[in-house]
Structure 1
Amino acid sequence: MMDLAAIRAATPGLATGQVFLDSAGSSLPPRVVTDTVIGHLHREAEIGGYRAANERLDDLAAVKTSIATLIGATADTIALSDSATRSWADFAYSLPLRPGDRVLISGADYASNAIAALQRAKQTGAVVEHIPSDDTGRLDTDALAAMLDERVRLVSLQHAPTNGGLVNPVAEATRIAHEAGALVLLDACQSIGQLPIDVAELGVDALSATGRKWLRGPRGTGFLYLREELAQTMEPARLDLHSAEWVSEREYRLAPDASRFEFWECDVAARLGLGAAVDYLLALGPDEVYAAVAERADYLRKTLPELPGVTVRDLGTEHSGIVSFTADDHDPVELRDRLADHAVTVTVSHAGSTLLDMTARALPAIVRASPHYFVTTDDLDRFVATLADITR
């Protein structure tokens, strides 16, 4: 069983007494993460970045091993990056597309992914199409099956959208896409660290994820998972002397694994911090963490509707740790700022982030509360009471 008191004591951001409900944005790192990052920066200042990095080569390699352990992969299928968006784009821009090819995105797809897909379509003559949602708000797998043909090159899936507690049926959608010969790219930005992810069970060809959210890692970190065959054969859109080797005047050789999607220059301190964050999660026990997140989110979904005028906006039949809501006659930004005045941290998700879904539901913005396992029931009750006072 997790020791909540020890976990909170190891989280410096909680020392101020705030109620922190924004792990879907950028969570509070445990002390081991900040100590790791700051310690390496000090070492760089002492002996220079090159020597400092060389001292930690084994530790840097271990970051991939830890991530692979978390998602049921192998280290050679992991490429480290600076964000989930970078990872998603690195894969999408490397996929060869021709005129008439089709890229399918879900109704909950994130704006950065959709924009990248639209740009690729503009550059190549491909087309981007939207997979409908079913009556519950989840991706409609029957509609997906009906849309598929030999021209579909990529299906983009959002595991857990940024604007609410929906969880999409990834394994089923992936199976359907593969039957038509399409590749599946999963955005796990909002699910890694709060939902179970096993890439073998999900069957996806690639997965993008961030470090700063539910993993409690540093900003400027993320990773790309590639199915082993793709990690060994796919050519990235951009290369350097780390992702490839210059072997003759007119020839280069790609790195033999997913590191072909990495560049040599990187934030070593941040990557070590990401490794510390993943190791912290593994030591706590991921299943316990996932259960604790679900319990706290479910508590809010049951409690918030008891407040007059407050509506929970989560869709789907399976839910993540994100709880979205609105309050009658109160602008979401105003609510966020007034809660902050009372040391309660939430955030706002605007329609521009998930345009298709938010437009369909006529929601210009929602408030997003995302309680992690370090949040107590007293914290949640304080949040609900404060929100009640504001909206009364």
Structure 2
Amino acid sequence: MNPPPTADAVTATAPAPVADGPSIDVAAERARTAGSALAHHFNAAGAALPTRGVVTAVVDHLRLEEQKGGYEAAAERRGRIDAVYASAAALVGAASTEIALFDSASTGLRILLDALRPTRGQRIVASSSTYVSHALHLMSLAREHDIDLVIAPYDEGRRVDVPALEAILADGVPSIVTVAHVPTSSGLVEPAAEIGEVVQRYGGTYILDATQSVGHLSVDVREIGCDMMVTTGRKFLRAPRGTGFAYVRDSLLERLLPIAPDVRGAQWTSSASWELDASARRYETWEGPVAARLGLGVALDETLARGIPESEAWLIDAGRRLRTALADIEGVTVADPADSRSAIVTFVIDGVGAADAVVELARRGVRVVSVPATHGQWDLGDRGVPSVVRASPHVYNDDTDVAALVDGVAAIATGITR
């Protein structure tokens, strides 16, 4: 996604606790989030504001590299780097040996899907909520390898229709099922565990894109039943850009071979042979952003300390309240399913392009983004929606932020700024 217009710093307002929501100490979250005093930031689904602890971890390691060199600094911090795998595993219910670190979810999806080596005679079933980068890869594989690519049927809420999916898989064709848990284009939440039960029953391989859900909703890979899961650090985890991780079920490791082994995950043992690492690190590359990954580790630990059940309840409630407030504005249509249980809120304003609304809200110190149909043709394109405005709160957003967003949208909708 192209970066949204940014606003100049606005005058900091004394934070007010978000009323009537589950227990999160919003004032404490704001106190450790420098950016919360500079603008009303509603872009957690793009890149959330990091905490001071995350930034300090990154900067401290860069200073260490400055003093000792990159390799030497990494060696000194090896224990902390290894701890990142354990924290990621704890967050999603995996073993640390099942975790691989990547620079993004898109990279992880590409590497793992390529490692599956889908061929003619197999089928890929993808949710209509699939993000553009992954969809482009799927379409390329289908075109180049003559693989059947099927868009999963959806129900009246545009979620994967699980009985219809079962009917597809029941024919016995070897299938890879890939689902975006929460899409970029709406507040929809897919029935991930129900999908997992069906895919397991028919012997398929299940990939979950949890880019918008880890750190936002409870994601337990054992309960969901996915074979692989990928996520990014920069969104609801509040980690630096250029970070992400994947889970690969340990029983898949021996048959899921990286298409391009790297010295990080393989050992060259003779002139014509090599041995892969026994863990999911076999999918990694040697070079990586060590400082950013240490920041990821801090972000993971902070998320665990805050509590996933508490964060999920607070974020779902924040999304609900924001949808209600926006729906009460004449000329504004909320574009999410009516019963959405997420903190991602999308809407359109009559007669105003989404990108124009983003610019005007940025002028008021409110940071949101526009999502065009080119980022979700199987969803927005299929609905005939050219673009939506997306607002995604996090635990550092208070009532002052919400009022600024709602007031700004109301002003645009009533033509005050036109």
Q: CA deviation at 1:318?
A: 4.2
Q: CA–CA distance in 1 between the matches of 2:141 and 2:158?
A: 27
C-alpha displacement at 1:76, in angstroms? 0.3
1:146 aligned partner? 167
Partners of 1:316 and 1:133 lie apart in 2 by 15
Q: Is the 8 A contact 2:36 2:397 kept in 1?
A: no
> 1:33 is matched with which residue: 38, 42, 54?
54
CA deviation digits over 1:210-265, x for unaligned, max 9? 00000000000001100111134420111111111111111100100100011111
Query: Among residues 80, 83, 97, which one is paired with 2:101 in the alignment?
Result: 80
1:358-385, CA deviations, whole angstroms, 9 ceiling, x for partnerless residues?
Answer: 1221101000000111111221122101
Q: Which residue pairs with 2:158 in the alignment?
A: 137
CA displacement 1:143-175 (0-9 Å, x = unmatched)? 111111332320011100111110001111111
Unaligned stretches of 5+ residues in structure 2: 1-22
Which residue of the partner structure matches residue 121 of structure 1? 142
Aligned residues: 391
Q: Which amino acid aligns with 1:86?
A: T
CA distance in 2, matches of 1:118, 1:379: 40
Picking from 45, 50, 56, the partner of 2:71 is 50
Asked if 1:258 corresponds to 2:272, the answer is: no
* Structure 1 position 370 matched with structure 2 position 367: no
Aligned residue among 264, 272, 276 for 2:294: 272
Structure 2 residue aligned with 1:319: 341
Instruction: Say which of 335, 338, 359 aligns to 2:381.
Output: 359
Match of 1:59 in 2: 80
Instruction: Tell me the percent identity.
Output: 38
The TM-score with structure 2 as length reference comes to 0.92
Mapped partners of 1:290, 1:107: distance in 2: 24
Q: Distance in 1 between matches of 2:175 and 2:35?
A: 44
For structure 1, which segment, 316-325 or 150-159, has the greater mean C-alpha deviation from structure 2 after superposition?
Answer: 316-325
CA distance in 1, matches of 2:142, 2:266: 27
Give, as a single letter, the amino acid of the residue that structure 2 aligns with 1:311: T
- SS of 1:151 mapped into structure 2: coil
How far off is 1:8 after superposition? 0.5
Q: Which runs of 5+ in 1 are unaligned?
A: none
Matched with 1:101 is: 122
**Counterpart selection for 1:187 from 193, 209, 213:** 209
Counterpart residue identity of residue 182, structure 1:
G
The CA distance in 1 between the partners of 2:119 and 2:346, in whole Å, is 39
Structure 1 contact 232–258 (Cα < 8 Å) conserved: no
Secondary structure of residue in 1 paired with 2:124: strand
For residues 382 and 175 of structure 1, do their structure 2 counterparts lie closer, same or farther at Cα, with a shift above 3 Å needed? same
Aligned residue type for 1:90: I
2:102 is the alignment partner of 1:90: no
Counterpart in 2 of 1:8? 30
| CA RMSD after TM alignment | 1.2
Structure 1 moving runs of 4+ over 6 Å: none
What is the rounded CA distance, in whole Å, between the counterparts of 2:199 and 2:37 in structure 1? 47
